[in-house]
Amino acid sequence: MKRNLNEAFPERDTHFPSLTSKHRAVFRMVHTVPEVSRAMIGQELRMNNSSVSYLVNQMIEWGLLADGERVPVPRGQPIIRLEIDRTTFFQFGISIYPDRFSIARTNLAGEQMSFFEFKGDWTQPQATCVEIADRLRNQMEIESLDPAYAIGVGVAMSGNVVNYGEYLITPDPLLHWSGYKTAESLSSLTRLPVFIENDAKAAALGELVTGEGKEIASFYYTSMGLGLGGAYVENQRIIRGAGGNLGELGALLTFRSVRPTIPSLLQYLGLSGSNLTEGLDLEQLRVDHPVAFRKWLQEAAHNYNAGLNQVAKFLRPQTIIISSRFPESVSRQIIDGISFEPFHPPRYNDLPQPEVILSSLEPEMAEIIGASLLPVHHLIY
């Protein structure tokens, strides 16, 4: 029998400090610049040494930053590198699918501290939110975590966000979640700040912090899974546009076009009633329906290529990072078919075209890490 959740999540006093714009600027530098020092912060933010030291010492005392490695220099005292404090604050990421939800706890640096997956029927939002809140309570009790050091909860789901995360318009497998105010519901149950995001944008944030995106100034992230999501990242920030849906690749394709998504494949094969579970054997589908699968792959790759060409022309990213829930052989065949049209007039062909890479991160891992970073991302960025 579940305990009263209000007993598990009493009114709390958060220990997370109130930050000024200067605190946030310092944190962003430490978060994104490798081996940053106090001197580098002063130069970049145009602050004198005493101001930088005051801000940094405050943030060390609060548990946001920590002194790292001492690096010898030819003259003078060693330089002390700054890093994110990994021991004080934490946050939760949640990814929700029709047949399972996952919970990950990460530290401020985005490093995963724990991970749990719960299988079942999670198509009903209210019952699922109650179950998630109960699981969060259990996890904090098991790990002896003080809720005062929890920054918040990030939730990632497939769909289009409305009013920057007030709710989602979800695809058919999660139809009952469409319009449901998930953040409001979970926040009332857990008494923690809750932020909801489209799964592709959450995964782009995970890619930015822990994947190939760490070293890329400008990239477009796209995922091939339940939907055809996308996100544009510029200078360490996800550019969301009005309402929060900029970069959705599916919006560039006609409504009934064949897409490199699992629902599109199943519909093409006449299996649209199939259960979209993690146990779905896509390689076996290829064996069982060789001709139809090949035709679907050709059409999906053609349409995907057309959509990415539009992305390349309008956003001009340095790199396109593709994440896929399909077997690598299928993903590679789609990616190998990507070619960018020449610019017109021809004199513009000296402009660089984006590099295309397949992400090494599992899509769901990038997604849940990104979801866990939503609370600190909202506070800092």
Instruction: Give the CATH number of the domain where residue 186 resides.
Output: 3.30.420.40
Q: What is the pLDDT of residues 246-304, one digit of tens each?
A: 888 888 887 788 999 988 999 899 886 555 555 678 888 999 999 999 999 999 999 99
Q: Same domain for 147 and 98? A: yes
Distance CA 96, CA 158 (A): 8
Which among 112, 149, 322, 320 is positioned nearest to 233, based on CA atoms?
A: 320
Interacting residues of 350 by C-beta distance below 8 A, sequence separation 6+: none
Share of the chain above pLDDT 90, in %: 60
Task: Answer whether 37's CB lies under 8 Å from 30's CB.
Answer: no
Distance of CA 214 to the CA centre of its chain: 13
Q: What are phi and psi of 313, to 5 degrees?
A: -75, -40
Task: Answer whether 183's CB lies under 8 Å from 108's CB.
Answer: no
Q: H or E stretch including 268? A: helix 262-268
Q: What are phi and psi of 100, to 5 degrees?
A: -170, 155
Q: Same domain for 150 and 109? A: yes
Range of the domain at 254: 212-360
Q: Same domain for 260 and 342? A: yes
Does the predicted TM-score (pTM) go above 0.75?
yes
Q: Same domain for 148 and 269? A: no
Annotate 43-90 with DSSP letters as a single string.
HHHT--HHHHHHHHHHHHHHTSEEEEEEE--SSSSPEEEEEE--SS-E
Supply the pLDDT for residue 37: 93
Q: How confident is the model at residue 225 (pLDDT cuts 50, 70, 90)?
A: confident
In the predicted structure, residue 86 carries a pLDDT above the cut 90: yes
Cis amide bond preceding 345, omega within 30: yes
What residue type is assigned to position 282 of the chain? L
Interacting residues of 244 by C-beta distance below 8 A, sequence separation 6+: 161, 162, 163, 164, 165, 198, 201
Q: Same domain for 227 and 351? A: yes
Supply the pLDDT for residue 6: 45
Q: What is the pLDDT of residues 87-124, one digit of tens each?
A: 999 999 999 998 899 999 999 988 999 999 999 999 99
Task: Average the pLDDT over each of 27-41, 233-247, 271-285 and give the range with the smallest value.
Answer: 271-285
275 against 323, higher pLDDT: 323
Average pLDDT over residues 69-75: 81
Supply the pLDDT for residue 271: 81
In the predicted structure, residue 25 carries a pLDDT above the cut 50: yes
Say which CATH number the domain at 37 has: 1.10.10.10
Six-digit token string for 38? 């106090």
Supply the pLDDT for residue 2: 44
Q: How confident is the model at residue 341 (pLDDT cuts 50, 70, 90)?
A: confident
Domain count, the chain: 3
Q: Same domain for 261 and 219? A: yes
